[in-house]
A and B are shown apart, each in its own frame.
Chain A
């Protein structure tokens, strides 16, 4: 397997993500975005995914021979959706004999927002402090696929919470508790990202903004730092995060790679419940 370095002209990353309503394809190289294609194509990702990649490679004049790694959003998100990108990425990485690098789709959502909306301004501030970014994908019944990341002014990017499907109301409370426990570490801002920018209100029972839901001793502190934004997942962020992983010496096993669904299928969950029940 031939691997390039980040300065190698041929070290391009082909990145894709179909975990959300966005069919996202991008090419990155050495920390830069070479090209990207974003389109809202709900339930049609499987139709266009291959031709979109082909078009983008042609537009960017990046032939297959120049692709050094295949990067993919591993989910969580729509089960069917995430399978499409993962299947395409696995097959391409396998047939091209190139490394496959999976990236959390939630992290890509958060990282894209940070990079394009906050990073420049943060770096310019003397008092910058940390920013927390909470990407959200609606998983129905009050649940959301979510995680939490922090970004420091110097660009240090860290995961604060694992990807998971959570009852948002409980999770929001636990975030509050965490802030209350250590008031000195309250981030400068906490950004809640979703497709519409209004998901937190819906998840918190629809009565309103994050600020209304915040109660207790830390309420005002939390209130003052919470923000919401509409943000759509972008495959360029998948590519950039994958490059960073790869430079750390990480890649995934192509054959064993599978989507991160974050939960069992309904049938498995029921079977497990029935077994637990009968074991009692």
Chain B
């Protein structure tokens, strides 16, 4: 396909309203993100009903900004992509209905897109992906190791059995009375700490690529309780460092082992927790030792944004796999089934 094409993408799966216009699959012309974080901070976490309300209030404003910033008129939009799932269903619905309305009005194809495919293909916006590739997806809602044997073919080789990494960070932050969202504070305190309180690592079965963080979270709470009972001050920095070291150790070790086993020619780090300095630093080190190329998108492409949704939707655009106007938001959409060509193969 030689003529230029534009995909307009909408992402509303959680607490960010985002719209992007991406040219030829990888050239980000605009990527407007409206965060609701200040609203949800008052409640110590994302309140789904409020998130949905905010999306409705912002959606056309953000659409307008994204088109204006891209300098592209509606008549030059060739497809509308939208996060179909997974996510908060009430939040997803707003994006899906807006996208369907646009596809109807502009008479262009609609592409329902998997949120995690978006996080993974954010990497496509910064460089070529070489297959097989292994993606480590770490975010507030997800912790997964995904093998990509070929472009757009997703196979989950490991996933969390309880909390997502970001969730564990937030819970530990709350226990340490840090403000919401707590992940960045824990990361910072871990960097500043002079020593660490040693905490357990959940390796699970020897050959498993799955994760579990609930035991680690309990260990942090137990340490806080112990200090409180004895009337000792809580060593928050050392605890943050111990927690972060345990998380990083398990996550990066499993990622490197999977990359070896599946012969990955590249490791992709993605998701909001990819912003974590500790994880980035360790993975960079390990990949250098193993001579394994590592791709990490810049911060604004790691957190939820619509440009990444356009990048994933481009996979389906190029092979003409479109959805009808009856597309349904799915809170539990499967990544593997979203694979390119999967619907026709099943």
Contact A80 B52 (CB under 8 A): yes
A96 contacts partner chain B, Cβ-Cβ < 8 Å: yes
A83, B57: Cα distance in complex, Å: 10
Taking CB atoms, residues of chain B closer than 8 Å to A46 are 93, 96-97, 328-329
Taking CB atoms, residues of chain A closer than 8 Å to B326 are 47-48, 50-51
Contact B49 A91 (CB under 8 A): no
Contacts A46-B96, A80-B93; A92 near B105 (Cβ below 8 A): yes
Stretch at the interface among B60-68, B251-259, B283-291: B60-68
Stretch at the interface among A127-135, A156-164, A194-202, A253-261: A253-261
Contact A94 B60 (CB under 8 A): yes
What sequence of 0s and 1s flags, for each residue 34-52 of chain A, a beta carbon within 8 Å of any chain B beta carbon?
0000000000001111110
Cross-interface CB contact of A90 among B52, B53, B60, B90, cutoff 8 Å: B60
Contact B102 A91 (CB under 8 A): yes
B156 contacts partner chain A, Cβ-Cβ < 8 Å: no
A66, B291: Cα distance in complex, Å: 62
Contact B102 A83 (CB under 8 A): no
Taking CB atoms, residues of chain A closer than 8 Å to B50 are 265, 267-268
Taking CB atoms, residues of chain A closer than 8 Å to B325 are 50-51, 54
Contact A83 B104 (CB under 8 A): no
A65, B76: Cα distance in complex, Å: 18
A90, B103: Cα distance in complex, Å: 14
Q: Which of A246-280 contact B (CB under 8 A)?
A: 254-256, 258-259, 261, 265-268, 271
Contact A265 B60 (CB under 8 A): no
What sequence of 0s and 1s flags, for each residue 79-93 of chain A, a beta carbon within 8 Å of any chain B beta carbon?
110011011101110
B225 contacts partner chain A, Cβ-Cβ < 8 Å: no
Taking CB atoms, residues of chain A closer than 8 Å to B165 are none
Contacts A47-B328, A50-B325, A255-B61; A91 near B53 (Cβ below 8 A): no
A53 contacts partner chain B, Cβ-Cβ < 8 Å: yes
Contact B60 A271 (CB under 8 A): no
B98 contacts partner chain A, Cβ-Cβ < 8 Å: yes
A230 contacts partner chain B, Cβ-Cβ < 8 Å: no
Taking CB atoms, residues of chain A closer than 8 Å to B52 are 79-80, 83
Min Cβ gap B56→A in Å is 5
Taking CB atoms, residues of chain B closer than 8 Å to A91 are 59-60, 63, 97-98, 101-102, 105
A95 contacts partner chain B, Cβ-Cβ < 8 Å: yes
Min Cβ gap B207→A in Å is 42
Taking CB atoms, residues of chain A closer than 8 Å to B59 are 87, 90-91
Taking CB atoms, residues of chain B closer than 8 Å to A50 are 97, 100-101, 103-104, 325-326
B292 contacts partner chain A, Cβ-Cβ < 8 Å: no
Taking CB atoms, residues of chain A closer than 8 Å to B47 are 265, 267
Taking CB atoms, residues of chain B closer than 8 Å to A47 are 326-328
A53, B100: Cα distance in complex, Å: 11
Q: Which of B35-72 contact A (CB under 8 A)?
A: 42-43, 47, 49-50, 52-53, 56-57, 59-61, 63-64
B111 contacts partner chain A, Cβ-Cβ < 8 Å: no
A86, B97: Cα distance in complex, Å: 10
B74 contacts partner chain A, Cβ-Cβ < 8 Å: yes
A118 contacts partner chain B, Cβ-Cβ < 8 Å: no
Min Cβ gap A219→B in Å is 41
Taking CB atoms, residues of chain A closer than 8 Å to B74 are 95
A61 contacts partner chain B, Cβ-Cβ < 8 Å: no
A212, B53: Cα distance in complex, Å: 40
Contact A258 B328 (CB under 8 A): no
Contact B64 A94 (CB under 8 A): yes
- Of all chain A residues, which has the CB nearest B98? A91
A60 contacts partner chain B, Cβ-Cβ < 8 Å: no
Contact A265 B53 (CB under 8 A): yes
B334 contacts partner chain A, Cβ-Cβ < 8 Å: no
Taking CB atoms, residues of chain A closer than 8 Å to B97 are 46, 49-50, 83-84, 87-88, 91
A3 contacts partner chain B, Cβ-Cβ < 8 Å: no
Contacts A51-B325, A267-B47; A87 near B98 (Cβ below 8 A): yes
B94 contacts partner chain A, Cβ-Cβ < 8 Å: yes
Contact A83 B94 (CB under 8 A): yes
Min Cβ gap B84→A in Å is 11
Contact A255 B104 (CB under 8 A): no
Q: Which of A86-111 contact B (CB under 8 A)?
A: 86-88, 90-92, 94-96
A64 contacts partner chain B, Cβ-Cβ < 8 Å: yes
- Of all chain A residues, which has the CB nearest B50? A265
- Of all chain B residues, which has the CB nearest A85? B97
B197 contacts partner chain A, Cβ-Cβ < 8 Å: no
- Of all chain B residues, which has the CB nearest A265? B49
Cross-interface CB contact of A267 among B43, B100, B329, cutoff 8 Å: B43
A53, B53: Cα distance in complex, Å: 23
Cross-interface CB contact of B105 among A49, A83, A96, cutoff 8 Å: A96
- Of all chain A residues, which has the CB nearest B74? A95
Min Cβ gap B285→A in Å is 42
Q: 3 shortest A-B CB distances, which residue pairs?
A: A91-B101, A50-B100, A51-B325
The contact sample of 13 A-B pairs, CB cut-off 8 A, is A46-B328, A50-B101, A90-B59, A90-B60, A90-B98, A91-B101, A255-B61, A259-B56, A261-B53, A265-B49, A266-B49, A267-B49, A271-B43
Additional A-B contacts beyond A87-B97, A265-B53, A271-B43 (11; CB < 8 A): A48-B326, A50-B103, A50-B326, A80-B90, A83-B94, A90-B59, A92-B101, A92-B104, A94-B64, A261-B53, A265-B49
